Amino acid sequence: MTIVRSKSSLIFCFLFLVSAFTPVKGNPDQSLINHSAYRILYINSYHRGFSWSDEIERGMRKVLSKSNLDYELSTEYLDSKRFDYKKIEDSLFETIQKRYENYQPDILLVSDNNAFNFVTQNRDKLFPNIPIVFSGYNNFTADVIKGIDDITGINEKIDVRALAEMAIAVHPKTKALAFVVSNESATNQKNYESSIATFDQLRKHYHVEVLLNKKQDEIAKTLAMMPEDSLVFLAGRTANKGGDRKLSSYEQGKLVVDVSPFPMYTFWKFHLDSGATGGYILSGVVQGENMARIALQIADGTKASSIPVMMSTPAEKIFNYEKFSTFNIDESLLPSKAIVLNQPKALWDEYKYHFMTVIILLVLQMILILVLLVNIRKRQQALHSLDIERSLLESRVLERTHELNLANQKLERLSLEDGLTGLKNRRFLDDTMAKEVAALKRTKEPLSIIMIDIDFFKQYNDIYGHVEGDHCLKAISASLNISISRPRDVAARFGGEEFVIVLPDTHEHGANQVVSSIFRRISDLNIEHGESPFNQKVTISAGMVTVMPSDQLSLDDSSLLVLVDKLLYSSKDNGRNQVTRSVYEEVLDQENVDGTAENVTHIDTKRILENSKKQL
């Protein structure tokens, strides 16, 4: 045992000495990690989650990840979209200075104007002699980098004319154009100034509204006055503020989309997310890809200033499928190579794996069935006749049941409809009146009743006969039925030439609109009546009452019909071809003589029995 232990100790010591003098091939010392990596610092003008910036970063990372460059990427966000950049600029400078005073990058990548300005203004203090590649710089001109060494990048410029021409081609009946623009920032100021010439050109053929620095309510008022075939273009920001922060671009887009009755087009994808119809969308992904390709050239030894600035701005023609039905967009008018978002997938593309699984299962099932059929064929032949007889019996039962259901439905419909006019009959009316009067005690909405009588209808029958009288009743009934639109509204034949319309949850104003519609439609029928004093045409008289809701309503359905009948006869007594209106309210007296309170039902003298003698 002692000898074995001694040998084990010697082996352990030998292994320890070998490991001590053998170079480590595992993880190197942490201080050496990425020591030789190419250091890239990306400064983003905005914030993570902002779609434009995210697309630029996604395109940039895509190109870098596919390259052979050993790089280390750091990212800083200036967050100038949500907050006042001027207020936070100094603190950003101090933060970045402390972070990178001992960690100088090999190249600076910047996106959009604020990051460009931050780096170029502070380059000598923060990153002296470091090459710069920019993207998303709005309306770039050569004088912007005059005197700045070792810098290049990609221009970003919106093309208002191209966007307008694309949208007008999709909407060939366009008569007017509205452009929402702003100049509160240097970028938007340049976009606005570069578009003025386009506005002037478009005015030669269209009515053009330029909404500069307008709030949502001002935009809504202007759009409401524009003709039906108009288009809206969002090329800036509204003047609305967000309180303790700036409104996001998505929120800016929503402000315009929510008040625009017309299709809205834009240059930025975040406005598509807000609900825009489409746009000539600037591609952040392509901007990021091109910026990364330029960075790789510089990392390979090319001087930045020797690489010309890319002036062409990539853009894609993108449309929102969800708006096609809203604005009746003809897909055949879309431009070539148009991208349609939110388009329903083809059934096969969406469920092809499900279909393949089902098909495989069906094939296996068929094989199994064929095997089973061989074994049970004789039994199936014996049962076949029985199955046929049973199927016939079930079919006969189903057929008779269906016929009985149809007969019951027809009988029920006939029991509730007037046979001549097709309106609801008196039975249905009585049930409806009872339910709606009872509902007044539970709801907070009024009930309006209209009773209508055809003027001089007896004389009409005497002159033209009862067959023509029936035609007249049908025509007027059809007009009454068209004049009501809600599911609970009821038009019923009360008897003879009298009709009743029940309008639940309807105030006096709404009932007046229905009455006016009825009188107008009857007049449009232009039915000849030789004994009528009203241009020898068939007219009607009407009574209308609106009952206000009350927990202690004493009025029942019968007394309500009596009340509206009296109003009808008031119209007749006052010359016919008119409507007499009233509002019925139940008022609680303060005290009676002996000091106790009691309910007294009466008609509010301020609002009731307003006799309208206007000839309708």
Q: Which residues are catalytic?
A: 497
Exposed / middle / buried, residue 320 (Cβ in 10 Å: 0-12, 13-18, 19+): buried
The dihedral sign for the CA sequence 373, 377, 381, 387: negative
The set of residues, in sequence order, having a beta carbon less than 8 Å from that of 491 and lying 6+ positions away, is 423, 424, 477, 480, 481, 483, 484, 499, 500, 501
- Secondary structure letter of residue 333 according to DSSP: G
Exposed / middle / buried, residue 473 (Cβ in 10 Å: 0-12, 13-18, 19+): buried
Q: Are 586 and 601 in contact (CB under 8 A)?
A: yes
SS3 507: coil
What tokens does 54 get? 């995210």
Q: Are 590 and 544 in contact (CB under 8 A)?
A: no
Q: How many CB atoms lie within 10 A of CB 59?
A: 22
Please choose, from the candidates 536, 587, 584, the residue with its C-alpha nearest in 3D space to the C-alpha of residue 562: 584
Rg (CA), the chain: 41
Please, which contacts does 574-578 make with residues 24 or more away whose CB atoms are closer than 8 Å?
574/611, 574/613, 575/613, 576/455, 576/456, 576/534, 576/539, 576/541, 577/455, 577/534, 577/539, 577/540, 577/541, 577/615, 577/616, 578/541, 578/542, 578/612, 578/613, 578/614, 578/615, 578/616
276: left (phi over 0), alpha (psi -120 to 50) or beta: beta
SS3 42: strand
Q: Are strands 107-111 and 176-181 parallel, antiparallel or unpaired?
A: unpaired
The dihedral sign for the CA sequence 289, 290, 293, 294: negative
Q: Are 162 and 194 in contact (CB under 8 A)?
A: no
Largest Cα–Cα separation, the chain = 141
The set of residues, in sequence order, having a beta carbon less than 8 Å from that of 435 and lying 6+ positions away, is none
Tell me the CA distances in angstroms from 428 to 408, 412, 446, one per residue in order: 17, 11, 21
